[in-house]
Structure 1
Amino acid sequence: MPFPLRIALRTIVSLLAISLVAFIVIAAMPSDPVAIAIRTWNLPATDQTVAALRAQWGLDLPLAQRYLAWLTRFLGGNWGTSFRTGEPVLSEFARRLPLSLLIGLSGLALALVAAVPLGFAAALNPRGLADRATRVLAVFVQAVPSIWLGLILIWVLGVHFRLIRPFGHDAGSLVLPILLIGLHSTAVLARVYRRDLIHVTTQPFFRTALAKGNSRSAALWRHGHGHAVYALLSAFRAEAGWAIGSTAAIEVLFGLPGISQFLVESIAARDYAVLQAYVMVVALWLILMNAIVEGALHWLDPRT
């Protein structure tokens, strides 16, 4: 089976499986959204009111019928209506998703660009300054939660030095969230890139390149970069998944109107349509990133 067709088929099957599991799990969540809506909107808790809301939201149907009805509408572009806001979920996501993608993709792109020179400098001089700095940074970002680090940076850069406006709505207010996303991934990717470059220096062909008169940096770049990029892209796939949770935390911390903040606000109301749509968007993000990385790895080494 051709590579693109195999990726497309796996994507469709994965999305269908994820949608079914997510629908069952969300439907099994405790608390009834109808009861929550009645308390929130101060409606009379009569049998007629409860029955009308359940019929309006399709909660009176069997689970299998509800799933098939939701899937049909979802594929047709009707993602349902938010119980909490009364607005179409697709419209809410279309308005909020660009901001979330901007933060996540910018942070990952920053990390990918910064990891190569940092990892190369660390591999060029093991146990040197760059090597120690990337090691300390990797340990630090793994040990310190992004929310805690964000609070510290808000106080230092926003309150103490007044260099940024952390809670504004302009482009400058996005600098710190993007840096927080990129900081974690930069450390991880730089160490992965450095590790594979170090492995190349132990190979006979690298010693042959040195014997031919190449400098260590030239030989390392010419013979090690391609090998290390392969490992770098594999690690990038995992970092793309990590960026989802980090973006969600940062959106809440900085009050950014992305889809993750919308999700947090919708959880308490058991807003099924929003929860299901969020799961599908995240699943599509992960599957697309995985497909892109696999395509790049296949291009680098068609034998895979």
Structure 2
Amino acid sequence: MIAHLLQASLRQATSLLAVSALAFCVVAQMPADPVEIAMRAWNLPPDPDTIARLRMEWGLDRPLVLRWLSWLGGFVTGDWGLSFRTGAPVRDEFLSRLPLSLGLGAAALALAVILAIPLGFAAALRPNGWADRFGRGLVVVVQAVPSFWLGLVLIWLLAAELRLIRPFSGGPVILAMAAVLIALPPMAMMARVLRRELLASTTQPWFRTAIAKGLSQSAALRRHSARAGAYALLAALRSEIGWMLGTTATLEVLFGLPGVSQFVLQSVPARDYGVLLAYVMTVACLMALANLVITLILQLLDPRAR
């Protein structure tokens, strides 16, 4: 298990290194010069000496490879540089906003798993029953209708028409709405995956033996198919985490929540390289960590891997 952990960690570290290099190249090749954008925002005359001095202070006059190595070393050691737009350390800006984004994503993730388990179990227990039909219809709806569109409909209905909420207040109701909208697509997908895996287990000889010994269908699913269902659920969750991160960013902007995504959106027009790179690497690190944890749990659940 330790050897597998080291191998998985090495693979994730290599992936993060490749992501950092690719992200740095893409961000560095974005059109427009951040120095010129900053000078226009500060109402400074386009003086060549001032532009050259700012480019030197911000490290934009060095070769691309040296800039990447310098930035990568600073990122690993906790020095994420200064924001071109605000002048504050990028790390401090992220740490002040990251708790809201992580809390929202974690709440949506927990909600998706908690709701997917009973829905998938009920659909497997009675195929073509109400739970199965509801899960099938929910998958179609969430795949066809984007979460941000549902958010716009809720804002129009609850805020503009019924006047029950303040749409951009960031209160508990807004956070709960955002968490539910983030959780719906992965919940529906994981429920269908769980249902499929549980139904597949009912055709196995060991399941028929459990039924022959007097266990009910429900008890046999709980006792003998739970491990296979959990394995399939975690495998599905690993593929859904990326979509959840993207949906979280979208709904933060839609509901005006002061999370990391809102700050990044404001930094795009200013070509704030440090902020954009920090966001890409933060998301990549979260994905790598989630992949590593889920991989290890899957190894523990699979006796063949052990």
Aligning the two structures, in what range does the TM-score lie when normalised by the shorter sequence?
over 0.9
Q: Structure 1 residue 170: deviation in Å?
A: 3.0
In structure 2, what residue type is equivalent to 1:8? Answer: S
Q: How many residue pairs get matched? A: 304
Q: What is the rounded CA distance, in whole Å, between the counterparts of 1:261 and 1:254 in structure 2?
A: 10
Q: What amino acid does structure 2 have at the position aligned with 1:267?
A: V
SS at structure 1 position matched to 2:225? helix
Q: Give the Cα separation in 1 of the matches to 2:199 and 2:158.
A: 37
2:216 partner amino acid: S
Structure 2-normalised TM-score? 0.95
1:80 partnered with 2:81: yes
Match of 1:3 in 2: 4
CA distance in 1, matches of 2:225, 2:167: 40
Alpha-carbon separation, structure 2, partners of 1:214 and 1:100 = 45
Offset at residue 9 of structure 1 (A): 2.0
For 1:104, the equivalent position in structure 2 comes to: 105
- 3-state SS of paired residue (1:21): helix
Check conservation: 1:165, 1:172, Cα contact below 8 A: no
TM-aligned CA distance change 1:80 to 1:302, over 3 Å: farther
Alignment of 1:56-135 (within 5 A): 56-135=57-136
> Residue 17 of structure 1 aligns to which amino acid in structure 2?
A
1:217 deviates by 0.9
Question: Displacement, 1:12?
Answer: 2.2
Residue number in structure 1 paired with 2:36 = 35
> Counterpart of 2:47?
46
8 Å CA contact 1:81–1:88 kept in 2: the answer is yes
> Where in structure 1 do 4 or more consecutive aligned residues deviate above 6 Å?
none
| Aligned match of 2:219 | 218
CA–CA separation in structure 2 for the residues paired with 1:263 and 1:302: 44
Aligned counterparts of 2:123 and 2:141: Cα–Cα separation in 1: 17
Residue correspondence of structure 1 range 1-304 to structure 2 within 5 A: 2-304=3-305
The one-letter amino acid paired with 2:10 is L
> Quick check: 1:80–1:90 contact (8 Å CA) kept in 2?
yes
**Hey, what's the Cα distance between the residues in 2 that align with 1:303 and 1:68?**
42
Distance in 2, matches of 1:112 and 1:147, equals: 21
C-alpha separation between the residues in 1 aligned to 2:167 and 2:122?
32
Provide the rounded CA distance (Å) in 1 between the counterparts of 2:209 and 2:286: 43
RMSD over equivalenced CA pairs, Å: 1.4
- Mapped partners of 2:161, 2:217: distance in 1: 44
Distance across 1 between alignment mates of 2:142 and 2:196:
18
Partner amino acid for 1:64?
A: V
CA contact (8 A) 2:170 2:256 kept: no
Indicate the larger mover: 70-79 or 164-173. 164-173
Instruction: Please give the per-residue CA displacement for 1:204-263, whole angstroms capped at 9, x wherever unaligned.
Output: 222222222211111122222211110110010111111111011100100001111111
- Name stretches of at least 5 consecutive residues in structure 1 with no aligned partner: none
Task: Report the Cα distance in structure 2 between the residues aligned to 1:165 and 1:182, rounded to whole angstroms.
Answer: 22
Structure 1 pair 119–164 and aligned structure 2 pair: CA distance change class (3 A):
farther
Mapped to 2, the partners of 1:137 and 1:160 lie a distance apart of 26
Task: Name the amino acid aligned to 2:187.
Answer: T
> How far is the alpha carbon of 1:69 from its aligned partner?
1.3
Equivalent residues of 1:123, 1:198 under 8 A apart = yes
Task: Report Cα offsets for 1:116-173 as digits up to 9, x if no partner.
Answer: 1000001111111100001111110011011100111222334444444432233333
Q: Structure 2: which amino acid aligns with 1:21?
A: L
Counterpart amino acid of 2:134?
A: A
SS at match of 1:269: coil
2:160 and 2:216 map into 1 onto residues whose CA distance is: 48
- Structure 2 segments unaligned to the other structure (5+ residues): none
CA distance in 2, matches of 1:220, 1:144: 33
Q: 1:2-27 CA deviation, whole Å, 9 max, x = no partner?
A: 12222222232222221111111111
Write the distance in 1 (CA, Å) between the matches of 2:103 and 2:214: 45
Query: Is residue 166–residue 176 contact of structure 1 (8 Å, CA) maintained in 2?
Result: no
Code of the residue aligned with 1:149 in structure 2: it is: L
- 1:2 aligns to what SS in structure 2? helix
Contact 1:115 1:187 in 2 (8 A): yes
| One-letter code aligned to 2:273 | Y
* C-alpha separation in 1, matches of 2:114 and 2:170: 26
Task: Measure, in 1, the Cα distance between the counterparts of 2:171 and 2:25.
Answer: 40
- 2:157 alignment partner AA: V
